[in-house]
Amino acid sequence: MWLTIVSFILAFGILSTTVIAEVPPQGKARRIGMLLGVSPDFAAPYIATFRQGLHELSYTEGQNIALEYRFAAGKGEPLSDLVAALVRLPVDVILT
């Protein structure tokens, strides 16, 4: 659990200073792929905090940023399949 929390904090810090440091031009949304090793229910409050941080940086999901989630916990799919699914998407960055 703590590893997941630390991962979110580190990922947000890295993301906010590199990939999304500049708001993209109007009409071009950044796409972030997120591979989470927990269930959607467990991740919900952390994702909400992440979205709030993005909003504070002038990013709004559905307008200038898109988030793609893949959850490893509780799924029968191997982790490699989830990674492959994210890699096939046109994402700017993948967070784990």
Per-residue pLDDT tens digits for 37-48? 888 999 999 999
Structure tokens, 17 = 């200073």
pLDDT given for residue 52 in this prediction: 93
Extents of the domains making up the chain: 2-95
pLDDT given for residue 56 in this prediction: 92
pLDDT given for residue 6 in this prediction: 46
CA distance 16 to 6: 15
Q: Which residue has the higher pLDDT, 58 or 22?
A: 58
To which residue do tokens 């959850």 refer? 71
pLDDT at 49 exceeding the cut of 70: yes
- What is the mean predicted confidence (pLDDT) over 70-81? 78
pLDDT given for residue 41 in this prediction: 92
What global pTM score does this model have? 0.67
Give 90's contacts (C-beta < 8 A, 6+ positions apart). Answer: 31
Amino acid in position 82: L
CB atoms within 10 A of CB 94: 17
Q: Which residue has the higher pLDDT, 25 or 68?
A: 68
| CA neighbours closer than 13 Å in the CB half-sphere of residue 35 | 18
Q: Could you tell me if 19 and 55 are in contact, meaning their C-beta atoms sit under 8 angstroms apart?
A: no
Structure tokens, 41 = 């229910």
